[in-house]
A and B are shown apart, each in its own frame.
Chain A
Amino acid sequence: MTTTTRRAPIEVAEPGGAPSSAAIAELISTAPVPRPTLMRTFNAMMAREFRVLRRNAVATFTRAVMQPLLFVFVFAYVFPKIGGGFNLGGGATAAGASAVKGGINFATILVPGLMASMLLMQGIMAVTFPLVMEFSWQRTIEDRALAPVPIRVLAIQKIVAGAVQSFIGAVIVFPIVLFVHAAGQAPHVHVTNWALFIVILAFASLLTSSLGLLLGTIMDPRKMQMLFAVVLLPATMLGCVYYPWSALHHIRWLQILVLINPMVYMSEGLRAVLTPVLGHMPMWGVLLALIGGTAVFSYLGTRTFTNRVLN
């Protein structure tokens, strides 16, 4: 074994070199006294999320807006123009017809549905994807796991941050689905209770981000593509996005089966507050499912998250 020759520490800080002893000594002597509190650390973590969101805002929301934008463009603008396609909403229209005299266009069905689907996409993108990255081989999650708060606070912070991003996404999508349509094809949107609208939107956001946390902690990173096939696609297609739940009474078994899909309650809740002309699920059922679902997913997600961080 060779003996190692030690260099004397160099005295001037140079980029790429070692810092001077005096500078390090000062670093230690002038070190601030940490006074972390739960709220301070939580707020700092939220500030970190907003910094990242602001930096990636254009990319994040462009990606998110494309699907609903193209959807309303094709179904509320192109189809009515070229004729015939409008009947796509026929079944649903028939179902809702008893509630409305003037008939319902497809755009009316799509407004709450596409907002709900936006919430789900955002919840997954804001929470699940980053989490899978943070748990992958470099385990960058340790960066925040070492912050002076209990691990479950970190999990709750991720849910809250994800919900905020979902909420913003839905607010951006709202005018798009509202105003993109052919002449005479405007959706019949009528918000009677803004407070309830905000409450539904907030709980729907929390539901998606807590589901996002749970998925992010149980997903195998190598099988991320499966997320689209197994979770996002069925949740959306069978989530009463493109038809109201009441219309499903024609297919009774499906109407009952889709009740396990949290997406149904998000679509129907928004439908109840945005397009009350359309038949929708009772409000108590919606709220129970949104709040209960948030509680269950948050509890399970926080638990699996803690188990993944502390091994």
Chain B
Amino acid sequence: MTGNGNSETAASGYAIRTEDLRKTYKSSRGDVPAVRGIDLSVESGQFFGLLGPNGAGKSTTIGMLTTLILPTGGRAWVSGLDVVADPVGVKRRIGVVTQNNTLDMQLTVAENLEFRSRFFGLSLREASRRAEQLLEVFGLADRRKAMSTDLSGGQARRLLIARALVHRPDVLFLDEPTAGLDPQTRVNLWDILQVLHGEGQTILLTTHYMEEAEALCEQISVIDHGEVLASGTVNELKDGAGAETVITVRYEDRVPEGLAAQAGLTDRPGVSKVESDGDFVRVFTREPEGVLGELVTAGSAAGLTVRDATQLKPSLETVFLTLTGREYRE
């Protein structure tokens, strides 16, 4: 098994590395693949985003990296340690903010931090000092004696993040940290994460919010149906797959074949692709000026009324559209 040795060497320089990582769930109706061979490389100190719609396989991937889900294929290393061979070693080196509220419901806010600290081997005194420090920093000091079940959604999320930082983790994992939060609370959390990142904390975050990935992450992998569709910085992704504006026009009735071609759109400079299926026409172009108007005109010439029209500027959403041909479902 010389390949293993090479993999380990390759893994050692990275905070996170996966090779053809897979997870297939067995069910009575046959095998359900949740992750189908994902390769990731996250450098130390990087703010890395796994972006994809709900059900894309993000949580399963994070579950495997944090040792709570056993892979059915491939390998993964965190801090150079194999997640299957050394789960305890990995758990010592990571902090995890779960998607669910996994705070200990039987404990107070402060106790949640104290006991987590003690699980990581801190003495009683160190644990209470660390808890106090975290409570102050995360604005929870006046709630220290409240039961964790009495916290608001935003407070609970802050406590979850604080709890993941009782020791200094090599990698901080955040699974959909802002799902279900109000916009103000979300932006506050973004601030916290950016400061952490600024301090050199390696972060892997999953999100189904495109703007979250754009605002925070240096490096992004877009995933769907358990596969990585594209990886790179936000700008690289936009320049690569989705540097085009996507214009979609929906009509009241079926679009006759060749409508776009008749309107001269297929030969228009800047247009790379025209899709038409059912009641819509979609144009991918680098020179969007006037395209929308032409689609409306072409439609009315063919006796079609426009139902709605969208024009997406180059963004992760257009990247997703270009890569999958599907609109992004949040």
In the complex, what distance in Å separates the CA atom of A193 from the CA atom of B190?
Answer: 65
Q: Which residues of A contact B187 (CB under 8 A)?
A: 7
Q: Which residues of A contact B279 (CB under 8 A)?
A: none
The answer to whether B167 and A34 have CB atoms under 8 Å apart is yes
- In the assembled complex, A149 has its CB within 8 A of some CB on chain B: yes
Q: Which residues of B contact A223 (CB under 8 A)?
A: none
A-contacting residues, B206-230, CB 8 Å: 210-211, 214-215
The interface bits of chain A over 200-233 (1 if a CB of B lies within 8 angstroms of the residue's CB, else 0) are 0000000000000000000000000000000000
The answer to whether A18 and B133 have CB atoms under 8 Å apart is no
In the complex, what distance in Å separates the CA atom of A21 from the CA atom of B196?
Answer: 8
Q: Which residues of B contact A149 (CB under 8 A)?
A: 88
In the complex, what distance in Å separates the CA atom of A17 from the CA atom of B121?
Answer: 31
B-contacting residues, A96-146, CB 8 Å: 130, 133, 137-146
Whether A48 touches B126, Cβ cut-off 8 Å, given contacts A14-B139, A23-B137, is no
Closest to B214 in A: A4
Q: Which residues of B contact A51 (CB under 8 A)?
A: 107, 111, 115
In the complex, what distance in Å separates the CA atom of A204 from the CA atom of B105?
Answer: 29
Whether A34 touches B92, Cβ cut-off 8 Å, given contacts A19-B138, A45-B119, is yes
- A contacts with B, residue count (CB < 8 A): 59
Chain B interface size band reads: 35 or more
Interface residues of A: mostly helix, strand, loop or mixed?
loop
- In the assembled complex, A175 has its CB within 8 A of some CB on chain B: no
The answer to whether A145 and B68 have CB atoms under 8 Å apart is yes
Distance in Å from the Cβ of A18 to the closest Cβ of chain B? 4
- In the assembled complex, B188 has its CB within 8 A of some CB on chain A: yes
The interface bits of chain A over 76-101 (1 if a CB of B lies within 8 angstroms of the residue's CB, else 0) are 00000000000000000000000000
In the complex, what distance in Å separates the CA atom of A41 from the CA atom of B116?
Answer: 9
The answer to whether A150 and B70 have CB atoms under 8 Å apart is no
- In the assembled complex, B61 has its CB within 8 A of some CB on chain A: no
- In the assembled complex, A37 has its CB within 8 A of some CB on chain B: yes
- In the assembled complex, B313 has its CB within 8 A of some CB on chain A: yes
In the complex, what distance in Å separates the CA atom of A21 from the CA atom of B137?
Answer: 9
B-contacting residues, A1-29, CB 8 Å: 1-2, 4, 6-7, 9-10, 13-19, 21, 23-29
The answer to whether A140 and B103 have CB atoms under 8 Å apart is yes
A-contacting residues, B130-151, CB 8 Å: 130, 133-134, 136-142
The answer to whether A34 and B192 have CB atoms under 8 Å apart is no
Q: Which residues of B contact A15 (CB under 8 A)?
A: 139-142
Distance in Å from the Cβ of A87 to the closest Cβ of chain B? 47
Whether A310 touches B106, Cβ cut-off 8 Å, given contacts A21-B195, A36-B119, is no
The answer to whether B215 and A148 have CB atoms under 8 Å apart is no
The answer to whether A18 and B68 have CB atoms under 8 Å apart is no
Could you list some 18 contacts between A and B, CB below 8 A?
A15-B139, A18-B189, A18-B192, A23-B136, A24-B196, A25-B195, A25-B198, A31-B168, A32-B126, A34-B167, A41-B119, A44-B115, A48-B111, A51-B107, A140-B104, A143-B116, A310-B67, A311-B70
In the A-B complex, list the 7 residue pairs whose CB atoms are closest, starting with the nearest.
A31-B168, A44-B118, A36-B121, A34-B167, A18-B191, A147-B119, A34-B120
Interface residues of B (CB under 8 A from A): 66-70, 87-88, 91-92, 94, 96, 98, 100-107, 111, 115-122, 126, 130, 133-134, 136-142, 154-155, 165-168, 187-192, 194-196, 198-201, 210-211, 214-215, 312-313, 315-317
